[in-house]
Amino acid sequence: MMVFVYYHRLVFINLNLYIMKKYCYLIISIVCIALLFLACEKSSIEKEELRENSVSKVDVCHYDKELDEFKHINISENALQKHLDNHNEGESMQDYVIDFAEDDSDGDGIADCADCDSEDASMGAKNIWYLDDDGDGYGDTDTYIETCMTLEEANAHFAENEDPNNQNVFVDDNTDCDDNDDTVYLGADEICDDNLDNDCDGEIDEDCHDD
């Protein structure tokens, strides 16, 4: 009889423990879901605040070391202040910010420091040259430089300042659809069975199939 009572109590205790464990899992799950909801809600609020409070931006003249010339860029005040704090050159933000009323002599919208000819409004814009990484004479539309240098001057500049075995070469064309393969460019002959779109027309080996 005592064995039966002991066994009955043991079963009862185990059953209670099982029920308590299930309730604990349920409570933990509810708490996690609530925390996740609050986190998402907070994130949404923060994104909304970012949309409402746009970052103030300023126009500055930035020295491009690679090209050895200045260019006009538009950046946030925070980024400019961080630059000043890191370099600690004793300059203020106003030393960098462009005042177009004073710094645009020919009125072409390009600051004098980045203008290719600050006395001629028709000559201010920089040239755009495209990287020809595979040497096929056709450039990559997404990789380019903006410079006052002519194409010949730009390539001579890079030839002088870079490793001859790893030199950037630029062209005035931007129609290369794969600048890592010199058999692929706009208008190239289709090479059969290479599984490439050699002529950049969106089709592969289209001139190689038998009728």
According to the model, what pLDDT value does residue 199 have?
A: 85
Question: Last residue of a domain, which of 70, 93, 123?
Answer: 123
In percent, the amount of the chain with pLDDT more than 70 equals 71
Average pLDDT over residues 153-182: 90
According to the model, what pLDDT value does residue 36 have?
A: 52
119 and 197 housed in the same domain: no
Residue 142 binned pLDDT confidence (cut-offs 50, 70, 90): very high
Q: What distance in Å separates the CA atoms of residue 37 and residue 45, rounded to the nearest whole number? A: 12
Ranges 46-55, 143-152, 186-195, most confident: 143-152
Instruction: Tell me the CA distances in angstroms from 128 to 29, 98, 149, 151, one per residue in order.
Output: 58, 23, 9, 9
Per-residue pLDDT tens over the stretch 35-87: 555 544 443 333 434 444 556 888 888 888 899 998 888 888 888 888 778 87
According to the model, what pLDDT value does residue 10 have?
A: 45
137 and 201 housed in the same domain: yes
Q: Name the domain count of the chain.
A: 3
42 and 67 housed in the same domain: no
Beta bridge partners of 59: 74
112 and 61 housed in the same domain: yes
Place of tokens 């464990």: 21
Residue 169: name the closest of 129, 131, 126, 136 by CA.
131
Q: How many CB atoms lie within 10 A of CB 131?
A: 19
28 and 84 housed in the same domain: no
According to the model, what pLDDT value does residue 88 have?
A: 65
pLDDT at residue 132 greater than cutoff 90: yes
Q: Which of 4-8, 36-40, 148-152, 181-185 has the lowest mean pLDDT?
A: 4-8
According to the model, what pLDDT value does residue 161 have?
A: 84
* Alpha-helix residue ranges (DSSP H) falling in 53-150: 77-87, 100-103
**Residue numbers of the domain that contains 17:** 1-54
According to the model, what pLDDT value does residue 140 have?
A: 94
Per-residue pLDDT tens over the stretch 95-129: 778 777 678 888 888 888 889 998 888 888 899 99
The encoded tokens of residue 187 equal: 């208008």
* Alpha-helix residue ranges (DSSP H) falling in the chain: 2-52, 77-87, 100-103, 151-161
Residue 174 CB partners (closer than 8 Å, separation 6+) = 130, 138, 139, 140, 141, 144
According to the model, what pLDDT value does residue 123 have?
A: 85
97 and 45 housed in the same domain: no
Q: What distance in Å separates the CA atoms of residue 18 and residue 28, rounded to the nearest whole number? A: 15
134 and 191 housed in the same domain: yes
Average pLDDT over residues 126-141: 95
Give Cα 201 to chain centroid, integer Å: 27
Question: Last residue of a domain, which of 88, 123, 158?
Answer: 123
64 and 116 housed in the same domain: yes
208 and 135 housed in the same domain: yes
108 and 139 housed in the same domain: no
29 and 109 housed in the same domain: no
Beta bridge partners of 176: 140
Question: Last residue of a domain, which of 123, 143, 165?
Answer: 123
140 and 203 housed in the same domain: yes
Q: How many helices (H) and strands (E) does the chain have?
A: 4, 5
